[in-house]
Amino acid sequence: MWIALGIVGGFVALIAGGELLVRGASNLAAAAKVSPLVIGLTVVATGTSAPELAVSVKSCYAGNTDLAIGNAVGSNITNLLMILGLSAVAAPLAVNIRLFKIDIPAMIVAAVALWLIGLDGTFTRLEGIGCVAVIIAYFAFTVHQGRRESAIAAAELEKAEAEITYDQRTSGWTNILLDVLKLIVGLVLLVLGAEWLVKACVALALGFGVSELVVGLTVVAIGTSLPELVTSVMASLRGHRDLAVGNVVGSNVLNIFLVLGLSAVVAPAGINVAPQPMAFDIPFMIAISIAALPVFFSGLGITRVEGGAMLLYYVAYVAFLIWHAGQPAGTVTPTSHMLLFVAPLVPLTLLVVYFRPREAT
């Protein structure tokens, strides 16, 4: 009985939380005179990365550091392929030109930086402090740039303001406080909803005889990304497509510099970077981060065809994880296997870009 309640309650909390978060964030963007993209890259991305941050910091503080790298890298891959894919399938996404100049390069730099940091097998406390300093500077720069909107961003802001109807009997500060409350309640509901749903689904899967390893690779891995998923899909459906994309890109930058940075700071001996993620998962994350550039740039958006292609590639990645889980303990996938796995990205990217003009948006 509690499993059914957990699943239903989890979905209800996720949907309600996503709705409140998107409403509060978009209203605050207008009130703060910045675009929804900036709010998505900062406030919303930080809030939806809370599960990854909590899991990684808690495990590293206890000395169990192996989970941290897998949690951050797996979440980034899930964000790019599954969450953006589902969001684009729900409604074709628009990509702000600012992302190509600043934020997508920042996401690629973060992915490459993690690989370079992991070359010696350890993410040290000093490197963690450096990463936290980088994310603080990135946030400050993002907010500063957000106040110098281009003509396109200014037009989007005017449209957002026109859609917001405040109660004229209340003051502006009252409206802002209500929007902040919506954002906070939305974040709380997202985190609680994800926790309830994951626990119920794990119990249900184990009840049907599914191994804990497979459950961990699928249900739990996706579960920590549910806040990003629900927020991006809800933002996409409500027309705040900049917020949907900004949430994912911002979360990917945060997962490396903030989540792993803080985790390394609290870890007694730093974070262990195992050979397997260095040989496959981190290079794969770098590859799909770079591959996202031509997809985003062609037409400044992501169509349903491209979203579907992202989802198919994510299914292939999960299938690889399940296959690797069945290999003998300590088996490391050669980097050459990763290159073979990534190779289809080139024709896949060309294919979805070719079909873009035929996509009905």
Looking at residue 183, its pLDDT comes to 76
Model confidence over 79-125: pLDDT tens digits? 888 888 888 888 777 777 777 778 889 999 999 999 999 999 899 99
Residues in the chain: 361
Q: Which 8-state DSSP code applies to residue 148?
A: S
pLDDT tens digits, one per residue of 45-83: 777 677 677 767 777 777 767 677 877 888 888 888 888
Average pLDDT, the chain: 75
Chain segment 302-351, per-residue pLDDT in tens: 778 788 888 888 888 888 877 777 777 677 777 677 667 666 666 666 66
Cα 33 to chain centroid, rounded: 25
- Mapped onto helix, strand or coil, the DSSP state of residue 222 is helix
pTM: 0.75
**Which helix (H) or strand (E) is 55 found in, with range?**
helix 50-61
Domains of the chain: 2-358 (1.20.1420.30)
Q: What is the pLDDT of residue 108?
A: 93
Helix, strand, or coil here: 272?
strand
**68-77, 219-228, 272-281 — which is least confidently predicted?**
219-228
Q: What is the pLDDT of residue 34?
A: 63
User: Per DSSP, what are the bridge partners of residue 123?
Assistant: 271
What phi and psi values does residue 167 have, to the nearest 5 degrees?
-75, 115
pLDDT of 351 reads: 63
d(CA 117, CA 135) in angstroms, rounded, equals 16
Alpha-carbon Rg for the chain, nearest whole angstrom, is: 20
With beta carbons less than 8 A apart as the criterion, state whether 224 and 20 touch: no
Other CB atoms within 10 Å distance of the CB of residue 51? 22
Residue 172 CA to residue 166 CA, distance in Å, equals 8
User: What is the C-alpha to C-alpha distance for residues 29 and 161, in angstroms, rounded to an integer?
Assistant: 9
Report the C-alpha gap between 47 and 100 in whole angstroms: 23
CB 111 within 8 A of CB 76: yes
Q: Give the list of residues 6+ apart from residue 44 with CB closer than 8 angstroms, or none.
A: 21, 25, 231, 243, 246, 247, 250
CA 271 to chain centroid: 21
Check pLDDT > 60 for residue 163: no
Reported as half-sphere exposure (CB side, CA atoms, 13 A), residue 80 has a value of 27
